[in-house]
Structure 1
Amino acid sequence: MPVITDALPKDLEKKPFVYVEPFVGSGAVLFRMLDKFPNIEKAVINDVNEDLINAYRTIQEEPDALIESLQQLEREYNGSPEEEFRQAHYLMVRELFNKREKSRTEHTAYLIFLNRTCYNGLYRVNKENQFNVPFGKHKNPKICNEANIRLVHKVLQKVEIRLGDFDALNDLVTPDAFFYFDPPYKPISSTASFNAYSQNGFGDGDQERLKGFCDKLHETGARLLLSNSDPKNEDPENHFFDELYGDYQIERVQARRAINSRGSRRGEISELLIRNYD
């Protein structure tokens, strides 16, 4: 986050602007931006992941009901300290989540429960959109963080929440907009796609389509910052992003990663920050 903050335009605080995050994910940058820049006149977040967007809308509109559902899930999970019991309970909730038959609030409670109790807090689905991350063996997970939910609820009152492809945000492409893109990263090895974020994936064609959208922004006068993986971690001769964004500013920065099939590749690796301003 400090590296991303340092890469922002130096004059963002000087006048009102529209902040847009087309791949919102955890919203970490969104919350940092709203805290740092009171001159944001409008914030818009978007994602293609319907489960995630429903979670944001639930927190924005129904925090009390969500907290009640999470407290119940927490009581049930803590009903026994035995790992076998907790794993069976986790698998039951995962099955209920994948059926998608409950209300939006209950479904969001399942999503948060799974995030807190699955392996490494991953979100991964298969081509049938079934969440399939294994049990995480956490000893004392914080399943219901009431204080945090209420804080996020308060902040989200200033935010417009959309569901869909990034290409549907053309109405926000104006000179007074700042876009931060954090798309699904390009896999840098054959084992790096463990964390499939949506059932349809996000391949090289989508990365190229995103570059076209960035060009549209640039031509309009909007500014943008984009994060992505650095293929050169695995193959120094892989120039995919260097060629794709050759007319933009590309900076290689160090980021910490805790998940890798090879232990030697955990820790700090190079990632890319790409921008269309000095």
Structure 2
Amino acid sequence: MPFKTLLTVTGPDHGDGDVRLAAVLCEEINAHLSVLVVVVAAPPSGGEYAAVVSPAWLAEREAEMEMLERRSSAVSKMLLESLVSADLSSEYPEQSWADEVIGRHVRYADLTVVGPEMLASHMLKEKVIAGGLFSSGRPILLVPKAARATLKPKRVLVAWDASLEASRAVRESLDILSGADEVRIVIIDPIEDERHHGAEPGADVATYLSRHGVKVAVDRLPSSNHSIADVLRRHAIDTGAELMVMGAYGHSRLRERIFGGVTKSMIEDPGLPVLMAR
């Protein structure tokens, strides 16, 4: 399915880089741009459910709402000068449910673009990615600093582990994959049995994609005591990939937070634009 609406989220201390990046991607594929301005409300100093509300906290909240208004006004002016069709909304959620609030907006877009400014932030980045992946059912596109982002890449790497998440990422990116000159299905340390990658790892997904007109090849790689994320990033460089497609959080978020994982590593250091779905 082609992407017809792209969404990007911006915060009060961000510049205009992420919004302009999303606008360029919209121009590339003739899509509509939705921009969400978010300021996450500061909790009371005595705790989120403190019985006594201090004047200082109330003053802080008022200042935050003014920041939200200023940022929304600045983005609105920029969108009026843009060539793409666009809409603007804003939210001032409490920290504990900010990801849910963001996720509700993400549901009405085909893809959420998470640009370099958002990736460089901390708390808001976590809320945007969690909202996008867990509260929307939609894919996200991570674009690191200095990376060239395009939704019409010529060479794409698909990180395949035969999981539901990877399958969904492939399905969400079919329009991109069918337009590429080369799509490489990459399987790290494949397990050859029916419960994992099948008798011939990568053959099933390659057949599925070829029926959609995708020019596909399968690369089966050993990890050789390196992390899967590092192997994927290295292979992306070696093959000149412009985009990586992968499933996100095959394990629980708690397990990834404690032990690490491919998703966590790619979010922290994508290396190239990465389309994730869950």
TM-score (norm 2): 0.29
Name the TM-score, length of structure 1 as normaliser.
0.29
